[in-house]
Each structure stands twice: as C-alpha cells, then as structure tokens.
Structure 1
Amino acid sequence: MIIDAKRRNASRRDVLVGTAGALLAAAMIESPAMAAAIGKPVTSKTGTKTMGMIKTKDGTEIFYKDWGPKDAQPIVFHHGWPLSADDWDAQMIFFLHHGFRVIAHDRRGHGRSTQTSIGNEMDTYAADVIELADALDLKGAVHVGHSTGGGEVARYVARAKPGRVSKAVLIGAVPPIMVKSDKNPGGLPIEVFDGFRSALAANRAQFYIDVPTGPFYGFNRSGAKISQGVIDNWWRQGMMGGAAAHYDCIKAFSETDFTEDLKQIQVPTLVMHGDDDQIVPYADAAPLSVKLLKRGTLKTYKGLPHGMCTTHPEIINPDLLAFVRS
C-alpha cells in the first residue's frame, strides 16, 4: 500500500509538472507580448544581475536594480505612481537581452525605498536621481519615464550634469501640467485629484484594485483583454509603498508645472502617448510637451491605454529600441 501511494503521488506530480510546463511553453509561443518582452538574446555575456541601495543626503534609502554589462549603454527607467521599478519588467528584460545596461529605481516613498514623510515632490525626486546617477557613474544614459516618472525625467534631464544623459523618453507622461487652471484650461479639475486623495485615505487597498481594474490599463473598455495577474501586480506594487508618500505624490504629479523643464532639455526626446489614455488625457499632455521641447518627436498610439508598456510591449519595446539606437 505504501509503495502504491508513493507511485500515485509521483505520477500525480509528473502530470502536474508536465502540464505546467506545457502551458508555459504554449503561452510563450503564442504570446507576441511575451516574445517582444524577451526579445532576441545577445550571444555575449550580459553580466550579473544586481540590485542595491543608495543613501541620499537626507538619509533616504533608494532601492535600485542594475542589470547587464557595466560598460554597455545605460537605460534608466522611471516608474509611475504608486508603483515601483517592477513595473518595467517587460522593458528591462527586453533591453537586457539586447545588450544594454538597464537600471530602474523605486522612487522615495515607493516600493522598497524608504517610506518618506518628507521630500515627496519633484525637486527632491530629481535630486535623488542625480545622486543615483552619480553613485552608479552613469554616462550617456537614456532616461525613460512613464506617467509620474515622465515628470521626474523632465525635471532630472533639465538639471542633469553634462554627459550624464544622451536621450529621453516620456511615455503617457504628466508634463507639461495636469491640473486645470487659467493657463491650462484643458487640464483636469482639482476635484479629480482631491478624489484620488480621499479614496487613498479612506481605503487605499480597495482604491489600488479599482484603478488597474478600470482606467489604468483600459480594462473598462468594451472588448478589452483583462489580465487578473496585471491587476494583482499593480496592487502588489502599490501596497509596498507608503500611504503618506503616495498621498503627497498626487500633488506632485498633478500640480507640478514642467513647462520650463521641457524648454531646457537639449537632448533628443521621444514623447509616446496612447490616445485612449484615461489617466493622463492625451490632448493636454503629449502634443503640448512636444511643442516645448527643442528636439522632441511625438509618437501617438491609437486606442492604447495609459499602461500600454504593460498591455502592449510588443508595440512599445521595438519603438523604444529604434529610438535608442537612432
């Protein structure tokens, strides 16, 4: 009887392992998004994947990932609110496999970085990136920012030390400014952002389910291909960060005016935006930013949502690669 039980357990285990492997293989073969996220592996050694912390002048610890050859061109990814470096998985793996050095950090108050109660505004975010670039001695880096991260990129690149930055990319980014005012009549009313703050303070856990389930990835649109894993991962990243820092960051991403930053940027800058972005409406963002940039290029994606780097990496990744290599 004991022998039979062992055989049954082994048989069941073999079936489960075999089934899981078959499902994984099928998903990899059939999913263009998976293929695009991975890309064609380079034949040379890509180096050791690393991660670590830097401590800023005010004592804040900033978590970062740093993968790939240290002598390769660096690409630095800046995440949106209230996420973390993990939101760039599809792009990090793609560019790593194309021979680049890829770096992403958790903004202060987000992810694995210190849950700060101070400095949760754009000037300090940019100052943190300056310290990170110094610590890693980044030269000729391409800085890619999504949403709030796009604002961080704009402010950082405008202030970066000579030689640190070669190009910039703003994806579904908050510049020039989101909130409605006399100077920005096409912006969103302040009541929208007050609603964000109220929802976060009342029940952050539920709010961080509602956002990715609905407008962030366009999963509220008819015919959308909904991914529960993507929703859960958004929630996971959001809940890792600090509630107070996330609350303050709403003001940072909605009320900061990046007009002068955009005017000061000298490097080639690609502005990518989905025209069905329900978080950062297209008309009041990308076209206005390009007009302010000295060397800006606009690329509009018909029907794509705010979180298009995750939902459509098979489209976004090759376009990013073409720009980086241009």
Structure 2
Amino acid sequence: MPTITTADGTEIYYQDHGQGRPVVLSHGWPLCSDAWEHELKVLADHGYRAIAHDRRGHGRSTRTSAGHDMDTYAADLATLVEALDLTDLAVVGHSTGGGEVVRYAARHGAGRVTKVVTAGAVPPVMLQSPANPEGTPIEAFDGIRAGVLADRSQFYQDLAVPFFGANREGSTVSQGQRDDFWRQGMLAGLQAAYDCVKVFSETDFTEDLKALDVPILIAHGDDDQIVPIAAAAYRAIDLVRLGTLRVYPGAPHGIVGAYQEAFLADVLEFLAD
C-alpha cells in the first residue's frame, strides 16, 4: 500500500495512476481518495499521471487525533508532492479538498503548481458572519458535529441525500452511489470527522485566493445544498487574478452523473490549454 510519512509520523496513503503531467486530487469531507476513482481513470486514460491521497484521519491514512487544521492538511499535501518530486503540477480539490489545494498552492506551490481546479469548494469561508452574510450559520455546523458524534453511520446515510441532490425531482443518483458515500465516511476516524467540521467551515481562504498567481478553474453546481454557491464560487471568483468560473445548472454538491461528465470535460480542456 503506497504511503508517505509526514514530519509528525502520520502515514498518508495515496493512489497513483498513469504517466505524464501530474494531477493531484484532494477529496471532500468525510470521504477519501476513492471519491476520485472515476476521475483518476479518465485522467490517466488521457495521458496524465493522476494521484489522489487520503487526508490524515480519513480513508487508509493514519487515524491520528492531531493535526486537524488546514495548515497541516496543506503541509501533508506538500510532503506528498515533494516525496514524489512532482513539477508542472495541476491540483484539483472538491469541497474541503478545494480549500486544501488553494492553501497548498498559495503557500507551498511556488515552482511546482501551474494550475488549480476547485469544485463545490469551501473558499473563501463558509461560516456566516457580518462580513459574510450569505454564509452558513454556526448552528448548522454544530448540528453536523452533533450528528457525527451521536450516530455517524446514520448521519452519513442521511447526509448522502442532499449531498447528491437525491431529494430533488428528477434525481438519477443511485442507491449504490449513496451507499459508497456512507462506506467512505465510515473509514474516517471519529476524531478526524468531528474536528474537520471546524476546519472546513471556519477556515478563511481569502488571502490564499488573492495570493494565487496561476490559472484557477472554479466549478460549482448552482443547486449545491452543502456548500451554497453564493458564499463560495461567486465570492471566490472575485478574489483571484486568473480565474475562470463554471456554473453547472441544477448540479448538486457530489460530482456524479451529467455533472461529472461536464466537469471532467471542462477539466480536460482547462489542463490542455
């Protein structure tokens, strides 16, 4: 099982497919690199070296109770990139992973990262405040923490419904896809899943977005019930210098179905430019 070891001894598992220009993909909460398996295959089939890791405390990486903050997540990603000596690198992040790749690129990516892609990503900041009135109230995140702590198995089954838009008329998401969300969520340690709620909801990426000096594709579904587009992509695009915004009508938070097909086409076009 391929892993790298961080400075504090945490083992980070990763998948590595194909050959060519490297693309590293970062998953959302509470998932793991398996969330990107379709994208990994498509990218490898198109001549890229496609890599995805399990964030610390998630998937097959060490179930550590330490380091659940965005600076450490970005440093872990930097350790992976440096261990594999990746250059001319594109980074892709979904949801929490979108924040991770933005912080990584802004603070560690000089000389390595040439393109950034986010999808349904949390930047600039999710939490509602006077400066961010379109954000999500703290009570919603308190509810997530309570659900994870009380019965995370049932909570993940319930969360899969809005995650994939299964509560919308005409939804075609399968039970199998919802079950796989539950499966991946249950691989995350309880401490990691609980602590990461604060990380994805309260971390402010404003200065990271401003600091990016490489092209960024910001993708978002306009029916995202988990990371509403008004406080995310519509604000993020105004903070970056070299940004392209792609909005997918009716698309949910989870990247599935027609949304996945359109998103992948846009990513391949963006990477080829």
Q: TM-score, normalised by structure 1?
A: 0.82
Contact 2:18 2:50 in 1 (8 A): yes
Distance 1:201 1:162 in 2: 39
CA distance in 2 between partners of 1:54 and 1:190 (Å): 35
Name 1:274's counterpart in structure 2. 221
Once the two structures are TM-superposed, the CA of residue 309 in structure 1 deviates from its matched residue by 4.5
8 A Cα contact 2:172 2:257, kept in partner: no
1:1-326 paired onto structure 2 within 5 Å = 52-69=2-19, 72-212=20-160, 214-309=161-256, 312-326=259-273
Kept in 1: contact 2:173–2:256 (CA 8 A): no
1:60 touches 1:114 (CA, 8 Å); kept in 2? yes
> Which residue pairs with 1:46 in the alignment?
none
Map Cα deviations across residues 218-248 of structure 1 (whole Å, 9 max, x no partner).
0011121130110111111110110101100
Q: Which amino acid aligns with 1:106?
A: D
Deviation of 1:311 (Å):
5.9
**Equivalent residue pairs, number:** 273
Whole-Å separation in 1 of the counterparts to 2:261 and 2:26: 20
Specify the SS of the correspondent of 1:299.
strand
Amino acid at match of 1:290: I
Q: CA RMSD in A?
A: 1.0
d(CA) in 2 for partners of 1:311, 1:264: 33
Question: Aligned residue for 1:20?
Answer: none
Q: CA deviation at 1:161?
A: 4.1
Partners of 2:128 and 2:254 lie apart in 1 by: 23
CA contact (8 A) 2:164 2:256 kept: no
Q: Relative to structure 1, is the Cα distance of residues 134 and 239 closer, same or farther in structure 2, using a 3 angstrom cutoff?
A: same
2-side partners of 1:161 and 1:78: how far apart?
15
Aligned-residue offset at 1:162: 2.6
How many Å apart are 1:312 and its aligned residue? 2.9
| Preserved contact between residue 309 and residue 316 of structure 1 (Cα < 8 Å) | no
| Residue aligned with 1:205, SS | helix
| TM-fit CA distance, 1:291 | 0.5
Deviation at 1:182, TM superposition (A): 1.2
TM superposition shift of 1:181: 0.7
Task: Summarize the Cα distance change of 1:270–1:60 in structure 2 as closer, same or farther, 3 Å threshold.
Answer: same
Q: Post-superposition shift, 1:316?
A: 1.3
Aligned residue identity for 1:126: A
SS at structure 1 position matched to 2:91: strand
Whether the 8 Å contact between 2:222 and 2:228 is mirrored in structure 1 is yes
Deviations 1:77-118 (A, max 9, x none): 000000000000111110111111000000001000011111
Residue 172 of structure 1 aligns to which amino acid in structure 2? G
Larger Rg: 1
Q: Give the superposition deviation at 1:310.
A: 5.7
Structure 2: gaps (5+ residues): none
Contact 1:271 1:286 in 2 (8 A): yes
Describe the shift of the 1:65–1:272 C-alpha distance in structure 2 as closer, same or farther (beyond 3 A).
same
The percent of aligned pairs where both chains have the same amino acid is: 56
Partner Cα separation in structure 1 for residue 114 and residue 248 of structure 2: 24
